[in-house]
Structures are given as structure tokens and as C-alpha cells.
């Protein structure tokens, strides 16, 4: 028998893809990896070595913590030279957060790290898990004619689309088309063939692969809305344990222009807090120069996140703040695209 030419490490963290109904109370609970693999015999048809690493315990991704991202990064680092690509089986609820965080934590990545999962457990007749898993494995092992990996990025593969991980949002709680990257076309689409959009796939300049596991999570999110109270804004923006606040603004970066609101933003800025403006809109970008209300925020020291998602903004802040105690240096990086997370 010929030796498989490629190898993929499947990292199973949990999620619906590997869940079974508990006969007692009909809720879904994770089941083990070998049972999961028995449901997908098609994987054996690939000329691939597929090994696995299973999280213990397996988790519903609503329970994901940054410590698990650290563990994921370490597993990838420890196995980096032994595999051509990595597939992470993960619940859909927080997949966009995890893929975003990992994209920052893995520096000089030159191999595919493909997150996938499913809306229906893999044992169910109409499951979307099989196709998602099979195609994710194919993408993780795909190579260019020169032997280099086709997609050396952290991605999410779901329902025929390969999306950049740090551009994704979960957009459907029940439908199979659960993820979208509204501000970036798919990196690939799977039909009869997998068609790669090579023009937008990122290839980082050669450099030693390394991971960053120091994360500072002292970040809050302020979603502005009509009727928001002074007390809530004060609590979030001036909270003593909060180093950074993502302000989820309206449209292209606007927020209430009332004096009390702007005064609190100014006070937070004066205290050196990192204030990052991300739009509530699913598509388009923050431009604080367009309207007076946006301009006031900018003048108060708020930085613009362009078209970054909230999930990605969170991962970027955790990563940058984990790497520096100096807020001014964190701010200097925030407006720059580090891992393809925002448009230039
Ligand atoms: N609650 C599940 C999870 O995120 C949902 C899913 O996997 O789709 O783990």
C-alpha cells in the first residue's frame, strides 16, 4: 500500500457535530471521537493520514474560554511540523470568536487551520456535519503544484463556503448557512470542485511560526442603542477593571451626540482607556469623518475599526493587550490590518 502523502490533525473540541440526544431529557450531549468517525467512513477514501486530538471534557462552545484557545494554539504548535493541516471541530455558537482569536495567536502561519462544525448532529440523517467535515479535511490537505498549502490561514468552512476566520459572523441560528463574512468574499466555494479564490488568500511572508498565548481579557463591549442610560455608559466606559471598550456604534461609526455621552467618552479617553469603534451593521465600515457625531467620537480619542467584526475586535484586543501593558502601543496597532481582519 502506498504511504499517504498528506496528513491532517483533527482537533475535536465538541459542539453539535458530535452530539447525541440524551434519552433522559432529550438534550444534546457530546459523544466520543471514535463514534464520530464511524459516522463518516468517507474520510477513509482520502489518501491521507488523519489523526485526532480530543478535548477532555468535550464542550458546548458556549463554554469556550480563552484558556481553551491557548490550549488549541499549543496543540497546533506542538504538532506543527508533523501535519500538513489542522481541522478544528467546534460548536457554531462561538466558532467565529475562536477562529478570530486563533488568527491573532498564530503568527506566521503557513498551514491551514480550518474550523468546522454543524447545525445538526452527525448521526442525524439530514446532517450537514458530514459534508462540512469531509470538505474541511480536503481543504486542510490541499496543496498547490509547488507543494505549498493552498490555504495557509485560519478559516471557517461551513455549508460549501470557506471563509476567513476573523471575518466571520454566525448569521443563522438554525439554517445550514450559518456563517457569512459580509465584508470579504469566500476564500473558496465547494461545488463539484472546490474553487479557490487565490487572489484573496493570504500568504504571510516567510518567518518562524510562533504562538502567542498571553491574552488580556479586560475588555467590555458597549452596544449603543436609543434609550441607553448614563449609568450604563459610565459603568462600562469608566469601569476600573476595563482596559478597553469596543463601542458598537450605529452605521458608519455614529453614537449619541448628547453632552453627557461625549463627556463620558472623553473621560474614558483621558484615563487612557482603549476605545475601539466597530459598527453594528453587518456590512460596510466605520468612517468617523462622515458625520459630526462620528467626528466627535474621533476627537474624543476613539479609534476606528473599519470593517472589523466584534468577534475579531475582541480577539485582536485580547492579543494586543496580552502582548503589551502599554495602552498607547496597543492603540498604535489597532487601526492596522494584522491578519487580514479588516480592509485597508
Ligand atoms: N451550542 C452548540 C455549540 O456551539 C451549537 C452548535 O454546535 O452548533 O457548541
What are the tens digits of pLDDT across the range 240-280?
999 999 999 999 999 999 999 999 999 999 999 999 999 99
Please classify residue 71 by burial: count the beta carbons closer than 10 Å to its beta carbon, then call 0-12 exposed, 13-18 middle and 19+ buried: middle
Q: Which atom of ligand 1 is nearest to the CA of 117?
A: 7
**What is the pLDDT of the chain when averaged over all its residues?**
93
Contact 240, 268 (CB under 8 A): no
289 or 326, greater pLDDT = 326
What is the CA(94)–ligand 1 centre distance, in A? 8
Q: Flag whether pLDDT at 21 surpasses 80.
A: no
Q: Which atom of ligand 1 is nearest to the CA of 59?
A: 9
Length of the chain: 344
What is the CA(175)–ligand 1 centre distance, in A? 13
Reference 157, options 239, 85, 62; nearest CA is 85
The pLDDT of residue 3: 56
Among 28, 61, 168, say which to mutate for ligand 1: greatest number of ligand atoms within 8 Å of CB: 61
Q: Which residues line ligand 1 (CB under 6 A)?
A: 14-16, 60-62, 91-93, 117, 119
Q: Flag whether pLDDT at 148 surpasses 90.
A: yes
The pLDDT of residue 94: 98
Q: Where in the chain is the domain with CATH 3.40.50.1170?
A: 6-211
Based on its alpha-carbon atoms, the radius of gyration of the chain, rounded to whole angstroms, reads 21
The CATH number corresponding to 219-334 among 3.40.640.10, 3.40.30.10, 3.90.1330.10, 3.40.50.40 equals 3.40.50.40
**What is the set of active-site residues?**
16
Q: Atom 7 (ligand 1): residue with closest C-alpha?
A: 91
Q: What is the mean pLDDT of the segment spanning 15-20?
A: 86
What is the CA(49)–ligand 1 centre distance, in A? 27
Q: Flag whether pLDDT at 2 surpasses 70.
A: no
Q: Cis omega before residue 13 (within 30°)? A: no
Confidence of residue 24 (pLDDT cuts 50, 70, 90): confident
Report percent pLDDT > 90 for the chain: 81
Fold classification of 6-211 (topology level): Rossmann fold (3.40.50)
Q: Flag whether pLDDT at 63 surpasses 90.
A: yes
What is the CA(113)–ligand 1 centre distance, in A? 19
Q: Atom 8 (ligand 1): residue with closest C-alpha?
A: 92
Q: Flag whether pLDDT at 1 surpasses 60.
A: no
User: pTM (2 decimals)?
Assistant: 0.95
288 or 202, greater pLDDT = 202
The pLDDT of residue 222: 98
Q: Flag whether pLDDT at 5 surpasses 90.
A: no
Q: Flag whether pLDDT at 226 surpasses 80.
A: yes
The pLDDT of residue 244: 98
Q: Where in the chain is the domain with CATH 3.40.50.40?
A: 219-334
Q: Which atom of ligand 1 is nearest to the CA of 62?
A: 4
Confidence of residue 4 (pLDDT cuts 50, 70, 90): low
SS3 sequence, the chain?
A: CCCCCEEEEEEEEECHHHEEECCCCCCEEECCHHHHHHCCHHHHHCCEEEEEEEEEEEECHHHCCHHHHHHHHHHHHHHCCCCCEEEEECCCCCHHHHHHHHHHHEECCCCCEEEECCCCCCCCCCCCHHHHHHHHHHHHHCECCCCCECCCCEEEEECCEEEEHHHCEECCCCCCCCEECCCCCCCEEECCCEEECCCCCCCCCCCCCEECCCCCCCEEEEECCCCCCHHHHHHHHHCCCCCEEEEEEECCCECCCCHHHHHHHHHHHHCCCEEEEEECCCCCCCCCCCCHHHHHHHHCCCEECCCCCHHHHHHHHHHHHHHCCCHHHHHHHHCCCCCCCCCC
Amino acid at each position: 500500500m502506498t504511504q499517504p502523502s498528506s496528513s491532517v490533525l483533527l482537533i475535536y473540541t465538541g459542539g453539535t457535530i458530535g452530539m447525541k440526544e440524551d434519552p433522559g431529557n432529550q438534550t444534546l450531549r457530546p459523544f466520543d471521537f471514535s463514534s464520530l468517525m464511524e459516522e463518516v467512513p468517507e474520510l477513509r477514501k482520502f489518501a491521507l493520514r488523519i489523526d485526532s486530538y480530543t478535548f477532555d471534557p468535550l464542550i458546548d462552545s458556549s463554554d469556550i474560554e480563552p484558556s481553551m484557545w491557548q490550549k488549541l494554539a499549543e496543540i497546533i504548535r506542538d504538532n506543527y511540523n508533523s501535519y500538513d493541516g489542522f481541522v478544528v471541530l467546534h460548536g457554531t455558537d462561538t466558532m467565529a470568536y475562536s477562529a478570530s482569536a486563533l488568527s491573532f495567536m498564530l503568527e506566521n502561519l503557513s498551514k491551514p487551520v480550518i474550523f468546522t462544525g454543524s447545525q445538526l448532529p452527525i448521526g442525524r440523517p439530514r446532517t450537514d456535519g458530514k459534508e462540512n467535515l469531509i470538505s474541511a479535511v480536503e481543504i486542510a490537505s490541499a496543496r498547490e503544484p509547488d507543494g505549498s498549502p493552498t490555504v495557509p490561514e485560519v478559516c471557517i468552512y461551513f455549508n460549501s463556503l470557506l471563509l476567513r476566520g476573523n471575518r466571520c459572523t454566525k448569521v443563522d441560528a438554525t439554517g445550514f448557512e450559518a456563517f457569512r463574512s459580509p465584508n470579504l468574499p469566500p476564500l473558496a466555494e465547494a461545488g463539484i470542485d472546490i474553487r479557490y479564490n487565490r487572489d484573496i488568500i493570504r500568504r504571510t511572508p516567510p518567518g518562524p511560526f510562533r504562538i502567542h498565548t498571553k491574552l488580556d481579557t479586560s475588555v467590555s463591549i458597549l452596544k449603543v442603542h436609543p434609550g441607553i442610560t448614563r449609568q450604563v455608559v459610565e459603568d462600562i466606559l469608566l469601569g476600573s477593571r476595563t482596559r478597553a471598550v469596543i463601542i458598537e456604534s450605529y452605521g458608519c461609526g455614529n453614537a449619541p451626540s448628547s453632552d453627557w455621552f461625549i463627556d463620558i467618552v472623553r473621560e474614558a479617553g483621558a484615563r487612557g482607556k482603549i476605545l475601539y469603534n466597530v459598527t453594528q451593521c453587518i456590512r460596510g465600515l466605520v468612517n468617523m469623518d462622515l458625520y459630526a457625531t462620528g467626528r466627535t467620537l474621533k476627537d474624543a480619542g476613539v479609534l476606528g475599526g473599519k470593517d472589523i467584526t466584534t468577534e475579531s475586535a475582541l480577539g485582536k484586543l485580547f492579543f494586543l493587550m496580552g502582548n503589551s501593558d502599554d495602552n498607547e502601543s496597543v492603540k498604535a496597532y489597532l487601526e492596522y490590518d494584522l491578519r487580514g481582519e479588516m480592509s485597508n
